[in-house]
Structure formats: structure tokens, C-alpha cells
Structure 1
Amino acid sequence: MEIFAWILILLFFVIGFVGLVYPIIPAVLFIFGGFLIYGLFFSFSELPWWFWAIQVLFVALLFSADALANAFGVRKFGGSRAGFWGSTLGLILGPFIIPIVGIIIGPFVGAIAAELLVNRSSFKQSFRSGVGSVVGFVTSVFTKGIIQTVMVILFFLVV
């Protein structure tokens, strides 16, 4: 049973890291779920209160990281709120419409389309907004990857 528990914990961690590039998967919830599985199979008392406090703070940070990085990227490149929402919609739909590359193309096209349709921006400005959405997404993936790695390393240090 112990081997099954560790396989399940590691599977949750792997799914969490896959969720970095496939945003429909709530990545951080799978990482946190791995901690909960450990507690259920072994003991919650092995994980001290400060471990849970730090992990909850990381979860809150990661939930806001996507939106903040996307908004920052779009704004930094001159986009508007419409560009932000277009890129968010593209981020969700892109991987389903165009598997694998849709994760990059979706937010890019979404931001451009929203800027063109809502704000009647020039194509040049809309294109810049699309580039900003991709920069924001890549920055978010990198940042979240580092934070999730720290979460998992902290888990293994405590256990």
C-alpha cells in the first residue's frame, strides 16, 4: 500500500507540472493534492503547521500569477483590457482547437482579435498586444515552475 501511495503522490506531482503548459489542468491543486494524499496514507502530523502555511501561501500566489503575468504582458506591450480577456480566452480554447501549439497561438490570436474587434486598434498595435500575451504566458510558466519546484522540494525535505 505504501508503494501505491508514493506512485499516486508522484503522479499528482507530474500532473501538476504538466499543468504548467496545459492551463486547463489546475496545476497547483495537483501539487497540493499530492501533499494531502501523503497525509491520508501516512500521517498529517509529519507535516508541521508551518509547512501547510507556506504551501497555502504558494497556492494563493500561483492562482494569481497567471492573471497577473498575462495582464502585465498585455499592458506592457500597449494592450487593453480587451486584449487581456482575448488572450485569456485564447489560452483556454487554444489547446483544444490546435493541440500542442495552441497554448502559444491561442492567447496570441485571442489578444489580437479582441484588440481589433473591441478597440478597433491598428493591426500593428493589436499584434503588439498579442506578443505581450505570449511574453506574459511564458513568464508565468517559468515563474510557476520555479514555485512548484520549491513546493515539492520543501515537501521532500520535510518528509
Structure 2
Amino acid sequence: MDIVLLIIGFALMFIGILGSFLPVLPGTPISWVGLLLLYLTKAIPDDWTFLGITLAVALLVFALDYIIPVWGTKKFGGSRWGMVGTTIGLLIALFFPILGFIGIIVWPFLGALAGEMINKADQKKALKAAFGSFLGFITGTFLKFLVTVIYLGIFIYKAWEYKSDLFPFFN
């Protein structure tokens, strides 16, 4: 049973990392569930304080993911159209990686700009608002990615630390 929990937990870690880029997946909570599954194995000692702290961080980052883009958009005079454009740009970057890794940055910005151009007639204001939408989006995404990668590192460290208990054939 420990092996099943370990494999599912490890898969959830990668789904969580993917969720830091895909708006439809709650990346940090999914990664936290992966950590929880690791701690539910008989090999890893219970540490409910650690799990509580990491849950609080996951939920805080999850909430901030909704707050930061709105704050960035409002700070720079953006609109909902800019945020929608950013999300559409991200989806284009993920499903049509024309520009490679740089596309993950270029497409959301172009999407935000297009969204703001639809909403505003003034090109200068639209560019500023698009930058705010994009900056908020990138900040939230980076924060989610950072936390999910840290959770993956903790997962691997703990699994390695107790590998002889998880995998008795390593003894």
C-alpha cells in the first residue's frame, strides 16, 4: 500500500507543477495532497505540524493566485478583459508552443494587450494595463511554481530519507 501512496503522491506532485501554469488546476493544493499521501505511508513518521504549515502555505498561495492578478490589473488601470486575454494567451502558449519557452511569456502578454485593446481605445493606456495584467499573472504563476517545486523537493527528500522503509528490498 505504501508503494501505491508513494506513486500517486509523486504523480500529484507533477500535476501540481503543471497546475501552476494551467488556470484550471489548483497546483499548490494538488501538490499538498501529494505530500499528505507520502505522510500517510507507514514508512514516514507523522508530522501534523509540518502538514498543517504546508497546507496553510498551499491555501494562502491558492488565494493569492486570485488576488495578485486583480491587484496588478487594477494598479496599472487594467480591466477584466486584460486578465481574460492573459489566460487565453497562456492557453495558446501551452497548446501551440510556436515560440518555445519564450512563448510562455510572449503569448500571455499579447493576450493581455489584445484584451485591453478591445476594452480601451487609447493604445498607451491599453499597453500599461496589459503590462499590469501580465505582471500580476506572472507573479502569481511564479509563486505557485516555486511552492510546488519546493513541495516536490520535500517529497523527494523525505522519500529518499526513508527509502529503506518504503522499499524493503533496498536493505
Do they fold alike, i.e. is TM over 0.5? yes
For 1:5 and 1:11, how far apart are their aligned partners in 2?
10
What CA deviation, in whole Å up to 9, does each residue of 1:11-52 have, x standing for no partner? 3223322332344443223312212322444378x3333223
1:18 corresponding residue in structure 2: 18
What CA deviation, in whole Å up to 9, does each residue of 1:41-94 have, x standing for no partner? 4378x3333223212212221212222221222223331344234434544x43
Q: Does 1:75 align with 2:74?
A: yes
Percentage of identical aligned residues = 31
For 1:146 and 1:117, how far apart are their aligned partners in 2?
33
* Residue ranges of structure 2 left out of the alignment (5+ in a row): 163-171
Equivalent pair of 2:117/2:123 in contact (CA under 8 Å): yes
TM-score (norm 1): 0.70
2:144 corresponding residue in structure 1: 144
Shift of 1:122: 1.0
The structure-2 alpha-carbon separation of the partners of 1:143 and 1:97, relative to structure 1 and needing over 3 Å to count, comes to: closer
2:48 corresponding residue in structure 1: 49
1:108 corresponding residue in structure 2: 109
For 1:138 and 1:108, how far apart are their aligned partners in 2?
10
Shift of 1:146: 3.3
* Greater relative contact order structure (CA < 8 Å, 6+ sep): 2
TM-score (norm 2): 0.66
* Residue ranges of structure 1 left out of the alignment (5+ in a row): none
